[in-house]
Protein backbone atom coordinates (compact mmCIF):
# COMPACT_ATOMS: atom_id res chain seq x y z
CA UNK A 1 0.00 0.00 0.00
CA UNK A 2 1.34 3.42 -0.88
CA UNK A 3 0.93 6.26 1.56
CA UNK A 4 0.62 9.66 -0.03
CA UNK A 5 0.70 12.90 1.89
CA UNK A 6 -1.87 15.10 0.21
CA UNK A 7 -1.11 18.78 0.52
CA UNK A 8 -3.72 21.38 -0.28
CA UNK A 9 -2.47 24.05 -2.65
CA UNK A 10 -2.76 27.68 -1.59
CA UNK A 11 -5.80 29.16 -3.25
CA UNK A 12 -5.71 32.47 -5.10
CA UNK A 13 -7.76 35.28 -3.64
CA UNK A 14 -7.74 37.55 -6.68
CA UNK A 15 -11.48 37.17 -7.33
CA UNK A 16 -13.27 34.71 -5.07
CA UNK A 17 -12.38 33.28 -1.71
CA UNK A 18 -12.41 29.50 -1.94
CA UNK A 19 -12.51 26.73 0.64
CA UNK A 20 -13.51 23.15 1.35
CA UNK A 21 -15.17 21.88 4.55
CA UNK A 22 -13.35 18.92 6.12
CA UNK A 23 -14.08 16.66 9.10
CA UNK A 24 -11.63 17.65 11.85
CA UNK A 25 -11.09 14.07 13.02
CA UNK A 26 -10.96 12.07 9.79
CA UNK A 27 -9.96 14.87 7.36
CA UNK A 28 -12.63 13.64 4.95
CA UNK A 29 -14.49 16.06 2.68
CA UNK A 30 -17.94 17.22 3.85
CA UNK A 31 -20.42 18.25 1.19
CA UNK A 32 -23.49 20.48 1.32
CA UNK A 33 -22.66 22.44 4.45
CA UNK A 34 -24.90 25.45 5.11
CA UNK A 35 -22.90 28.66 5.30
CA UNK A 36 -23.99 32.21 6.10
CA UNK A 37 -22.12 35.43 5.39
CA UNK A 38 -22.49 38.20 7.99
CA UNK A 39 -21.84 41.93 8.05
CA UNK A 40 -21.92 43.83 11.33
CA UNK A 41 -23.34 40.72 13.01
CA UNK A 42 -26.27 40.53 10.58
CA UNK A 43 -26.78 37.65 8.10
CA UNK A 44 -26.71 38.89 4.52
CA UNK A 45 -26.23 35.77 2.37
CA UNK A 46 -26.88 32.03 2.88
CA UNK A 47 -26.11 29.03 0.67
CA UNK A 48 -24.79 25.46 0.64
CA UNK A 49 -21.23 24.40 -0.10
CA UNK A 50 -20.57 22.16 -3.08
CA UNK A 51 -21.36 18.48 -2.65
CA UNK A 52 -18.16 17.33 -4.36
CA UNK A 53 -15.67 20.15 -4.98
CA UNK A 54 -14.30 23.54 -3.89
CA UNK A 55 -16.80 26.20 -2.83
CA UNK A 56 -16.33 29.73 -4.17
CA UNK A 57 -17.85 32.64 -2.29
CA UNK A 58 -19.65 35.28 -4.36
CA UNK A 59 -17.33 38.22 -5.05
CA UNK A 60 -20.16 40.78 -5.04
CA UNK A 61 -21.07 40.28 -1.37
CA UNK A 62 -19.26 42.32 1.25
CA UNK A 63 -18.98 40.45 4.55
CA UNK A 64 -16.84 40.42 7.67
CA UNK A 65 -17.56 36.92 9.04
CA UNK A 66 -18.93 33.52 8.05
CA UNK A 67 -20.69 30.71 9.92
CA UNK A 68 -21.10 27.02 9.07
CA UNK A 69 -23.75 24.54 10.17
CA UNK A 70 -24.57 20.95 9.29
CA UNK A 71 -26.58 18.24 11.02
CA UNK A 72 -24.45 16.31 13.55
CA UNK A 73 -21.65 18.93 13.41
CA UNK A 74 -20.86 21.74 15.82
CA UNK A 75 -21.74 25.19 14.45
CA UNK A 76 -18.58 27.10 13.57
CA UNK A 77 -17.98 30.80 12.97
CA UNK A 78 -14.94 32.62 11.58
CA UNK A 79 -13.89 36.17 10.88
CA UNK A 80 -13.25 36.84 7.20
CA UNK A 81 -9.51 37.24 7.73
CA UNK A 82 -9.39 33.83 9.46
CA UNK A 83 -11.13 31.97 6.64
CA UNK A 84 -8.56 29.54 5.23
CA UNK A 85 -8.71 27.19 2.28
CA UNK A 86 -9.61 24.28 4.58
CA UNK A 87 -12.44 24.69 7.09
CA UNK A 88 -12.42 22.10 9.88
CA UNK A 89 -15.77 21.01 11.32
CA UNK A 90 -16.15 19.04 14.54
CA UNK A 91 -18.61 16.14 14.51
CA UNK A 92 -20.80 15.88 17.60
CA UNK A 93 -23.05 12.87 16.88
CA UNK A 94 -21.99 9.68 15.10
CA UNK A 95 -24.17 7.50 12.91
CA UNK A 96 -24.24 3.76 13.60
CA UNK A 97 -22.45 3.06 10.32
CA UNK A 98 -19.66 5.51 11.16
CA UNK A 99 -18.33 3.92 14.32
CA UNK A 100 -17.77 0.45 15.75
CA UNK A 101 -20.66 -0.39 18.06
CA UNK A 102 -20.30 -3.55 20.12
CA UNK A 103 -22.95 -4.93 22.45
CA UNK A 104 -21.88 -5.78 25.99
CA UNK A 105 -23.04 -9.31 26.67
CA UNK A 106 -22.46 -10.48 30.19
CA UNK A 107 -18.98 -11.88 30.83
CA UNK A 108 -17.89 -11.35 27.21
CA UNK A 109 -14.87 -9.09 26.76
CA UNK A 110 -14.05 -7.13 23.61
CA UNK A 111 -10.39 -7.07 22.57
CA UNK A 112 -9.74 -4.41 19.98
CA UNK A 113 -10.49 -0.79 19.30
CA UNK A 114 -13.87 0.88 18.82
CA UNK A 115 -13.54 4.13 16.90
CA UNK A 116 -14.77 6.10 13.90
CA UNK A 117 -14.41 4.60 10.46
CA UNK A 118 -12.31 6.39 7.86
CA UNK A 119 -14.05 5.63 4.58
CA UNK A 120 -11.16 6.53 2.30
CA UNK A 121 -9.00 3.96 4.11
CA UNK A 122 -11.25 0.94 3.46
CA UNK A 123 -9.25 -1.89 1.91
CA UNK A 124 -10.13 -4.68 -0.49
CA UNK A 125 -10.03 -8.20 0.90
CA UNK A 126 -6.91 -9.96 -0.38
CA UNK A 127 -6.32 -13.60 -1.25
CA UNK A 128 -2.95 -13.64 0.51
CA UNK A 129 -1.53 -12.48 3.84
CA UNK A 130 -1.16 -8.81 2.92
CA UNK A 131 -2.48 -7.08 6.04
CA UNK A 132 -4.12 -7.72 9.39
CA UNK A 133 -4.11 -7.08 13.13
CA UNK A 134 -1.80 -8.47 15.80
CA UNK A 135 -3.33 -9.38 19.16
CA UNK A 136 -0.63 -9.66 21.81
CA UNK A 137 -0.09 -12.50 24.23
CA UNK A 138 -0.82 -10.36 27.28
CA UNK A 139 -4.27 -9.43 25.86
CA UNK A 140 -5.15 -13.07 25.23
CA UNK A 141 -3.79 -14.57 28.44
CA UNK A 142 -6.31 -16.93 30.09
CA UNK A 143 -8.94 -16.03 27.45
CA UNK A 144 -11.10 -18.21 25.23
CA UNK A 145 -12.32 -16.74 21.96
CA UNK A 146 -16.05 -16.79 21.31
CA UNK A 147 -16.53 -14.58 18.25
CA UNK A 148 -14.74 -12.44 15.72
CA UNK A 149 -16.31 -9.20 14.54
CA UNK A 150 -15.33 -7.18 11.50
CA UNK A 151 -16.92 -4.37 9.51
CA UNK A 152 -17.37 -4.04 5.75
CA UNK A 153 -18.55 -1.62 3.10
CA UNK A 154 -21.68 -2.69 1.19
CA UNK A 155 -20.99 -5.92 -0.71
CA UNK A 156 -21.44 -5.60 -4.49
CA UNK A 157 -20.96 -9.29 -5.34
CA UNK A 158 -21.34 -12.44 -3.27
CA UNK A 159 -17.96 -12.98 -1.61
CA UNK A 160 -16.41 -16.03 0.04
CA UNK A 161 -13.58 -15.75 2.52
CA UNK A 162 -11.74 -17.39 5.42
CA UNK A 163 -10.69 -16.21 8.87
CA UNK A 164 -6.99 -16.93 9.45
CA UNK A 165 -5.11 -16.93 12.78
CA UNK A 166 -1.31 -17.21 12.84
CA UNK A 167 1.20 -17.24 15.64
CA UNK A 168 3.62 -14.39 15.04
CA UNK A 169 6.70 -12.66 16.41
CA UNK A 170 7.51 -8.95 16.23
CA UNK A 171 11.05 -8.15 15.09
CA UNK A 172 12.89 -4.83 15.26
CA UNK A 173 13.29 -1.75 17.40
CA UNK A 174 10.08 -0.64 19.17
CA UNK A 175 11.24 2.97 18.80
CA UNK A 176 11.78 2.86 15.03
CA UNK A 177 10.50 0.09 12.74
CA UNK A 178 9.09 -3.35 13.43
CA UNK A 179 8.24 -6.20 11.10
CA UNK A 180 6.22 -9.33 11.75
CA UNK A 181 7.42 -12.90 11.35
CA UNK A 182 4.53 -15.26 10.63
CA UNK A 183 5.03 -18.66 12.21
CA UNK A 184 2.38 -21.39 12.48
CA UNK A 185 -1.22 -21.45 11.34
CA UNK A 186 -3.28 -21.56 14.53
CA UNK A 187 -6.71 -21.58 12.94
CA UNK A 188 -8.23 -21.60 9.46
CA UNK A 189 -12.00 -21.28 9.28
CA UNK A 190 -14.23 -23.08 6.82
CA UNK A 191 -15.13 -21.04 3.74
CA UNK A 192 -17.59 -18.34 4.80
CA UNK A 193 -19.90 -16.17 2.71
CA UNK A 194 -20.83 -12.50 2.50
CA UNK A 195 -24.02 -12.14 0.49
CA UNK A 196 -24.62 -9.29 -1.94
CA UNK A 197 -25.95 -6.25 -0.09
CA UNK A 198 -24.39 -7.13 3.27
CA UNK A 199 -22.73 -4.21 5.05
CA UNK A 200 -21.34 -2.98 8.36
CA UNK A 201 -20.98 -5.54 11.17
CA UNK A 202 -20.17 -9.20 10.43
CA UNK A 203 -20.14 -11.65 13.37
CA UNK A 204 -18.36 -15.00 13.05
CA UNK A 205 -19.08 -17.52 15.81
CA UNK A 206 -15.87 -19.32 16.79
CA UNK A 207 -16.76 -20.81 20.16
CA UNK A 208 -17.03 -24.39 18.85
CA UNK A 209 -13.44 -24.44 17.53
CA UNK A 210 -11.66 -24.18 20.90
CA UNK A 211 -8.82 -22.15 19.38
CA UNK A 212 -5.60 -22.45 21.38
CA UNK A 213 -4.12 -18.99 21.98
CA UNK A 214 -1.91 -19.95 24.92
CA UNK A 215 1.43 -18.09 25.10
CA UNK A 216 1.12 -16.68 21.59
CA UNK A 217 0.83 -13.40 19.73
CA UNK A 218 -1.99 -13.97 17.25
CA UNK A 219 -2.05 -12.30 13.83
CA UNK A 220 -5.58 -12.16 12.40
CA UNK A 221 -6.43 -11.60 8.75
CA UNK A 222 -9.51 -12.05 6.59
CA UNK A 223 -8.53 -13.83 3.40
CA UNK A 224 -10.48 -13.62 0.17
CA UNK A 225 -11.54 -16.81 -1.62
CA UNK A 226 -13.78 -15.85 -4.57
CA UNK A 227 -16.45 -13.53 -5.99
CA UNK A 228 -19.66 -14.83 -7.59
CA UNK A 229 -22.23 -13.36 -9.96
CA UNK A 230 -26.01 -13.87 -9.71
CA UNK A 231 -25.69 -17.25 -11.48
CA UNK A 232 -23.09 -18.38 -8.93
CA UNK A 233 -20.25 -18.24 -11.46
CA UNK A 234 -16.82 -17.23 -10.19
CA UNK A 235 -15.92 -13.75 -11.46
CA UNK A 236 -13.19 -11.14 -11.13
CA UNK A 237 -14.92 -7.80 -10.58
CA UNK A 238 -13.28 -4.44 -11.10
CA UNK A 239 -11.54 -2.98 -8.08
CA UNK A 240 -14.37 -0.52 -7.39
CA UNK A 241 -16.80 -3.45 -6.98
CA UNK A 242 -14.64 -5.63 -4.75
CA UNK A 243 -15.55 -6.22 -1.12
CA UNK A 244 -13.81 -3.83 1.27
CA UNK A 245 -12.94 -4.11 4.93
CA UNK A 246 -13.56 -0.94 6.91
CA UNK A 247 -10.69 0.78 8.70
CA UNK A 248 -11.02 2.86 11.83
CA UNK A 249 -9.03 5.48 13.73
CA UNK A 250 -6.39 3.76 15.83
CA UNK A 251 -4.26 4.59 18.86
CA UNK A 252 -2.54 1.22 18.87
CA UNK A 253 0.54 -0.08 17.06
CA UNK A 254 -0.75 -3.49 16.01
CA UNK A 255 -1.62 -2.99 12.33
CA UNK A 256 0.79 -4.81 10.00
CA UNK A 257 0.81 -4.69 6.21
CA UNK A 258 3.01 -5.39 3.22
CA UNK A 259 3.99 -2.19 1.45
CA UNK A 260 4.60 -1.57 -2.25
CA UNK A 261 7.94 -0.46 -3.65
CA UNK A 262 7.55 2.90 -5.37
CA UNK A 263 9.02 2.05 -8.79
CA UNK A 264 8.10 -1.62 -9.22
CA UNK A 265 4.84 -1.74 -7.23
CA UNK A 266 6.00 -5.11 -5.90
CA UNK A 267 5.06 -5.90 -2.31
CA UNK A 268 7.61 -6.23 0.44
CA UNK A 269 8.20 -9.72 1.78
CA UNK A 270 7.79 -8.46 5.32
CA UNK A 271 4.67 -7.27 7.07
CA UNK A 272 5.49 -3.82 8.46
CA UNK A 273 4.05 -2.07 11.51
CA UNK A 274 2.37 0.76 9.62
CA UNK A 275 1.36 3.14 12.40
CA UNK A 276 4.69 2.83 14.16
CA UNK A 277 6.43 3.65 10.88
CA UNK A 278 4.19 6.70 10.35
CA UNK A 279 4.83 7.96 13.88
CA UNK A 280 8.59 7.54 13.48
CA UNK A 281 8.73 9.22 10.07
CA UNK A 282 6.68 12.21 11.17
CA UNK A 283 8.75 12.65 14.34
CA UNK A 284 12.14 12.32 12.68
CA UNK A 285 11.57 13.87 9.26
CA UNK A 286 8.74 16.36 9.73
CA UNK A 287 9.20 16.98 13.48
CA UNK A 288 5.46 16.90 14.13
CA UNK A 289 2.86 14.38 15.21
CA UNK A 290 0.74 12.87 12.40
CA UNK A 291 -2.89 13.92 12.26
CA UNK A 292 -5.03 11.28 13.95
CA UNK A 293 -6.85 10.55 10.67
CA UNK A 294 -3.62 9.09 9.24
CA UNK A 295 -3.35 6.44 11.97
CA UNK A 296 -5.88 3.77 11.08
CA UNK A 297 -6.28 0.01 11.40
CA UNK A 298 -8.63 -2.74 10.20
CA UNK A 299 -11.93 -2.76 12.09
CA UNK A 300 -11.53 -6.23 13.62
CA UNK A 301 -12.40 -7.23 17.19
CA UNK A 302 -12.32 -10.42 19.22
CA UNK A 303 -15.02 -11.35 21.72
CA UNK A 304 -13.56 -13.53 24.44
CA UNK A 305 -14.38 -14.89 27.89
CA UNK A 306 -12.13 -15.67 30.82
CA UNK A 307 -11.13 -19.30 31.11
CA UNK A 308 -12.37 -21.12 34.19
Residue extents of the structural domains in the chain: 18-89, 96-306
Enumerate residues 6+ apart whose C-beta is below 8 A from 214: none
Instruction: Kindly state the DSSP code that residue 278 receives in the 8-state scheme.
Output: H
To the nearest whole number, what is the mean pLDDT of the chain? Answer: 90
pLDDT at 11 (0 to 100): 36
Residue 25 phi/psi, 5° resolution? -85, -45
**CB-based contacts of 304-308 (< 8 A; 24+ apart in sequence):** 304/108, 304/109, 304/111, 304/140, 304/143, 304/144, 304/145, 304/146, 305/107, 305/108, 305/109, 305/143, 305/144, 305/146, 306/107, 306/109, 306/142, 306/143, 306/144, 307/142, 307/143, 307/144
Q: Lowest-confidence range among 123-137, 181-195, 277-291?
A: 277-291
Enumerate residues 6+ apart whose C-beta is below 8 A from 75: 67, 68, 69
pLDDT digits (tens, 9 = 90+) for 4-52: 333 333 333 335 799 999 999 888 899 999 999 999 999 999 999 999 8
pLDDT digits (tens, 9 = 90+) for 233-265: 999 999 999 999 999 999 999 999 999 988 888
Instruction: Report, as an integer, the average pLDDT of 99-125.
Output: 84
Distance between CA atoms of 2 and 112, rounded to whole angstroms?
25
pLDDT digits (tens, 9 = 90+) for 74-105: 999 999 999 999 999 998 877 666 777 676 55
pLDDT digits (tens, 9 = 90+) for 271-284: 999 999 999 999 88
Residue 284 phi/psi, 5° resolution? -100, -15
Cite the DSSP H helix spans in 126-186. Answer: 137-140
Q: What is the DSSP string of 210-271?
A: ----TT-EEEEEEEEEEEE-TT--EE---GGGS-EE-EEE--SS-EEEPPBPTTT-PBPSSE
Residue 160 phi/psi, 5° resolution? -110, 150
Distance between CA atoms of 14 and 7, rounded to whole angstroms?
21
b/e map of 284-297 (b: 16 or more CB within 10 Å)? eeeeeeeebbbbbb
| Fold of the domain spanning 18-89 | Immunoglobulin-like (2.60.40)
Give the model's confidence band at 1: pLDDT under 50 very low, under 70 low, under 90 confident, else very high: very low
The SS3 of residue 175 is coil
- Cα–Cα separations (whole angstroms), residue 14 to 11, 42, 78, 204: 9, 26, 20, 57
pLDDT at 308 (0 to 100): 75
Amino acid sequence: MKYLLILFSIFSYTQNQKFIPVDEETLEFIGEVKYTLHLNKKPIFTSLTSKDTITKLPNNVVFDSISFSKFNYKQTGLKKENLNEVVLLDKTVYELDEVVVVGSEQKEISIGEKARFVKRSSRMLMDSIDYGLLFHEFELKNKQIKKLLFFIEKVKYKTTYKIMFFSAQEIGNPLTYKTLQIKDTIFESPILTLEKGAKNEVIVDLQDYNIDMTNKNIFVCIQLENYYDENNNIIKPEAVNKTKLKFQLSKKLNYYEKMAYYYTNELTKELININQMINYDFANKLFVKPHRSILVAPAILLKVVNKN
